[in-house]
A and B are shown apart, each in its own frame.
Chain A
Amino acid sequence: MRPEPTKTTSIHASQWLAKLQGTGPVIGLVVLCIVGTLLNSNFATLDNITNVLTRTAFIGIIAVGMCFVIVSGGIDLSVGSMAALIAGSVILCMNALGPKIGSPVATVALGMVLALVLGAAFGLAHGLLITKGRIEPFIVTLGTLGIFRAYLTYFSNGGAITLDNDLSDVYSPVYYGNLVGVPIPVWVFLVVALLGGVILNRTTFGRYVQAIGSNEQVARYAAVDVDRVKVLTYVLLGVCVGIATLLYVPRLGSASPTTGILWELEAIAAVIVGGTALKGGAGTITGTVVGAVLLSVISNILNLTSIISVYLNAAVQGIVIIAVAFMQRSRR
């Protein structure tokens, strides 16, 4: 073939540009960390960093699941309510079963399994309504957002559901404990993210998820079982919400109608900030993890400084997600 020098330079340029876009969230995070360090000397301390990462774990784990759903072209608005309902149900069950089983450890283990099962079941319900019921994911999960939250409020009579003390004592290390100096939730987050990355990039399922998000019709014509893959993304997200919740329960040992409020905003924002296109098709777990950490760091800086009221945290996140979506506009 004839060499075409102009073409090759354009290829290099586009690859370079793609790389730049990929590193955008990382650069943002680094800049934020520098700003944080300059504003408050406590920011760069080991304690604070551990604290930030631990708080990131819940949202980060959910965001990994959310990444699959968004890459496949779907969305789930219910994750905050789902987490709250799972937390409440699990605590109620553990409190009820505790005396019967006798062993607090077994009870807690059962509770943890129940959290996963409930998450998977809720995700399955979403997936079936969306694929077999042919309802927009936006509508299905908007509906369940209300349903989940209402049932938690109903179970808790508008107050808090609190875990019994003996169970709480057994359970608390799951949140407060650490392994070689790193808190348990951070370890779990790390494992979930690694697994997520491998599943998205190195399995047929992950490839199908991307294919469906990129163009569902093409995927269908290429013999991909679109419905099954879509249902699985919601189940996967449900399981992630279950994992996040089983880490969250020992933190306060209770669930109330305000548990998990706006988690959907944070999880979706983390995915979008991480560079995943909201219309689906392309996205990375690394980006999602960075996005989740970035949002936590923002909230942490608001806590440590008094430039912007910490009450405006969600506003800042809202602005960030809109700004990133605005920048994504011109891509592709």
Chain B
Amino acid sequence: MSAAPHIEFRGITKSFGPVQVLHGVDFALPTGQVLGLLGENGAGKSTLMKILAGFEGASGGSLLINGQPQAFSSSRDAGQQGIVLIHQEFSLAEDLTIAQNLFLGHEKKRGWGGLLLDDVTMHTEAQAVVAQVGLTADVNTRVKDLIVAEKQLVEIARALLRKARVLIMDEPTATLTPIETERLFGLMRQLKSEGVTLVYISHKLDEVERVTDQVVVMRDGRCVAQQSTVSLSRRQMANLMVGRELADLYPPKSTSPADTASGMAPVLRVKDLCVPGWAQDISFEVRPGEILGFAGLVGAGRTELFEGLMGLRPCSAGTVEMQGQRQTIRNPRDAVRLGLTYLSEDRKGKGLHVNFGLQENLTLMALERYASPWLQPALEHQALVQAAEEFGIRTGNLRGKASSLSGGNQQKVALAKVLHPAPKVVVLDEPTRGVDVGAKRDIYLLIQKLASQGLAVVIISSELMELIGLCHRVAVMRAGRLQTVLTSQQLTEEELIAHATGTH
């Protein structure tokens, strides 16, 4: 394979209308190495990488490829130079097969002046590249039947097929389980050994520390540091990203209500709950003031279990007790009425109306409170001002749409929304997904504060450090069954992974 091109940014600026997001970025990619690109949401990482991969044009400055200034007019242009960006949201056609997706837009042709598709050749080549990335699925499988990790491998396979020499991955592990992440890292090492330059954008500093050779930290549209990874501690990376000393990410834990107050009865008690196809005979309980974690691989049935509990999917068996009273929850309305709310892991798809204003989002789950009988926008606005204060929602314009906020602030609005009906139990599914370090800490503090006020919190998370740092107890699920519930003293990454993968 040809050598990866040398890539350098010189004074790159970018403005969207009057808003300048890049203020002159200067650095060079370490050819043939893995570069970790760090920065809080809105620091300009994604915009810079979109410029590199031809999705956006720069407003000023130059992009040098092997010393020559280049301006890509499309991602196809960049692809021809071997530069490929894999987005956070995949760009695969769900109804097509793996092979069809791999060759989409670059189909092999044969016969009659290239009128027919050369399925045989495409099939063979697809099989080869799929094997190369370690995907075991048949290339005739439809993409919609694959799990997220497999889809990602298809994306990478597609990049390899286009002879990618520079591969940019935007938060590739955000939705992966630890095992899948390991596999991805193996693949990255393999690509690196073949001379590919990799750019790895992630919020997970432990992963950045492990997998990258160099780190570039961006802040407010500028490159603030470029150093070899070994010379930086995680703490230093986080400090560089936020531009101030970041105290320990996790606030100190309070003592577990399960340990101390033996008299404190569980507020929610679930017994033998079954969600067909996803979860079997799950029993657990959570007390007021307790933070209960749910660990497990993607597909272990955690999200589906709680969707079942909320009445968002059918449950086939089991009993639910709220404050000692047996209850039937047929839909989310019943759940809210009983004091149980759920924040989805899919913020844009299920959690927040991105085209709505902030106050409409905030009050949606407790709207009756503002109807007397006519809605009172003034009261709603007052509630928003209060929530912005309480949840640390930072925006210049409280009357703007939710889509205008950064990921972290959107998540705070979503949190404020599920807490607005004043629930007794709140289930937070991946509460810090796609959220920068600063906002993460805010959210952790908030969760602790709410728990200390007597709220029972259930946290589903794929970030083990988060569960260990925050939870009093962690339930581990595997393949739809509850494996174990670990107490605070037993919580280690190794223990969690062992139970989640069944290698205990």
Binding site for B on A (CB under 8 A): 1, 4, 6-11, 13, 198, 201-204, 206-208, 210-211, 214-215, 217-225, 281-282, 332
Q: Given A202-B375, A214-B356, verify A13-B332 contact (CB < 8 Å).
A: no
Partner of A207, one of B333, B344, B367, B400: B367
Partner of A214, one of B18, B332, B355: B355
Residues of A within 8 A of B367 (CB): 204, 207-208
Partner of B397, one of A11, A198, A214: A11
Partner of A203, one of B344, B354, B373, B400: B373
- A310 CA to B371 CA in the complex, in Å? 48
- A201 CA to B371 CA in the complex, in Å? 11
Partner of B18, one of A1, A10, A203, A207: A10
Contact indicator A207/B336 (Cβ below 8 Å): no
- A219 CA to B342 CA in the complex, in Å? 13
Contact indicator A223/B333 (Cβ below 8 Å): yes
Partner of A1, one of B354, B356, B394: B394
Residues of A within 8 A of B397 (CB): 11
Contact indicator A222/B332 (Cβ below 8 Å): yes
Residues B392-406 near A (CB distance < 8 A): 394, 396-397, 400
Contact indicator A198/B332 (Cβ below 8 Å): no
Contact indicator B365/A202 (Cβ below 8 Å): no
Residues of B within 8 A of A222 (CB): 332, 364-365, 417
Residues of B within 8 A of A4 (CB): 396
Contact indicator B312/A332 (Cβ below 8 Å): no
Residues of B within 8 A of A217 (CB): 349-350
Partner of B17, one of A10, A208, A211: A10
- Determine how close the nearest CB of chain B comes to the CB of A204; give it in whole angstroms: 5
**B130 CB–A CB distance under 8 Å:** no
Contact indicator A198/B374 (Cβ below 8 Å): yes
Q: Given A202-B375, A281-B355, verify A225-B333 contact (CB < 8 Å).
A: yes
- A198 CA to B312 CA in the complex, in Å? 31
**B141 CB–A CB distance under 8 Å:** no
> Chain A: which residue is nearest B373 at the CB level?
A203
- A125 CA to B433 CA in the complex, in Å? 42
Residues of B within 8 A of A198 (CB): 374
Contact indicator B355/A218 (Cβ below 8 Å): no
Which of the listed residues A7, A221, A281, A282 has the most CB atoms from chain B within 10 Å of its own CB? A221
Produce 1/0 per residue, B1-31, CB < 8 A to A.
0000000000000000111100000000000
Residues of A within 8 A of B245 (CB): none
Sample 10 A-B pairs with CB under 8 A, ordered by A number: A202-B374, A203-B371, A203-B373, A211-B353, A218-B351, A221-B342, A222-B365, A224-B364, A225-B333, A282-B355
- A225 CA to B337 CA in the complex, in Å? 13
Contact indicator A207/B375 (Cβ below 8 Å): yes
- A332 CA to B335 CA in the complex, in Å? 34
Contact indicator B350/A221 (Cβ below 8 Å): yes
Count residues of B near A (Cβ-Cβ below 8 Å): 35
* Beyond A4-B396, A204-B371, A219-B353, 10 additional pairs, beta carbon < 8 A: A1-B396, A204-B375, A214-B355, A214-B356, A218-B352, A219-B364, A223-B335, A223-B336, A223-B341, A225-B333
Majority secondary structure, B binding face: mixed
Residues of B within 8 A of A218 (CB): 349-353
Residues of B within 8 A of A201 (CB): 375
Q: Given A4-B396, A204-B367, A220-B312, verify A10-B19 contact (CB < 8 Å).
A: yes
**B213 CB–A CB distance under 8 Å:** no
Contact indicator A13/B17 (Cβ below 8 Å): yes
- Determine how close the nearest CB of chain B comes to the CB of A267; give it in whole angstroms: 24
Residues of B within 8 A of A220 (CB): 312, 332, 350
- A10 CA to B349 CA in the complex, in Å? 27
Residues of A within 8 A of B396 (CB): 1, 4, 7-8, 11
Q: Given A207-B375, A211-B364, A218-B351, verify A6-B18 contact (CB < 8 Å).
A: yes
Contact indicator B344/A221 (Cβ below 8 Å): yes
**B368 CB–A CB distance under 8 Å:** yes
**B323 CB–A CB distance under 8 Å:** no
> Chain A: which residue is nearest B403 at the CB level?
A332
Residues of B within 8 A of A6 (CB): 18-20
> Chain A: which residue is nearest B363 at the CB level?
A207
**B331 CB–A CB distance under 8 Å:** yes
**B171 CB–A CB distance under 8 Å:** no
**B360 CB–A CB distance under 8 Å:** yes
Produce 1/0 per residue, B315-354, CB < 8 A to A.
0000000000000000111011000011010000111111
Residues of A within 8 A of B331 (CB): 223, 225
- A214 CA to B364 CA in the complex, in Å? 13
Produce 1/0 per residue, B183-221, CB < 8 A to A.
000000000000000000000000000000000000000
Residues of B within 8 A of A221 (CB): 312, 332, 342, 344, 350-351
> Chain A: which residue is nearest B356 at the CB level?
A214
Residues of B within 8 A of A219 (CB): 353, 364
- Determine how close the nearest CB of chain A comes to the CB of B361; give it in whole angstroms: 9
Which of the listed residues B20, B367, B373 has the most CB atoms from chain A within 10 Å of its own CB? B367
Contact indicator B371/A332 (Cβ below 8 Å): no
- A277 CA to B371 CA in the complex, in Å? 26
Contact indicator B365/A223 (Cβ below 8 Å): yes
> Chain A: which residue is nearest B364 at the CB level?
A222
- A210 CA to B355 CA in the complex, in Å? 10
Which of the listed residues B331, B333, B364 has the most CB atoms from chain A within 10 Å of its own CB? B364
Residues of B within 8 A of A8 (CB): 396
Residues of B within 8 A of A10 (CB): 17-19
> Chain B: which residue is nearest A10 at the CB level?
B18
Contact indicator B353/A207 (Cβ below 8 Å): no
> Chain A: which residue is nearest B334 at the CB level?
A223
Contact indicator A9/B18 (Cβ below 8 Å): yes
- Determine how close the nearest CB of chain B comes to the CB of A283; give it in whole angstroms: 12
Residues B119-154 near A (CB distance < 8 A): none
- A222 CA to B371 CA in the complex, in Å? 17
- A223 CA to B336 CA in the complex, in Å? 7
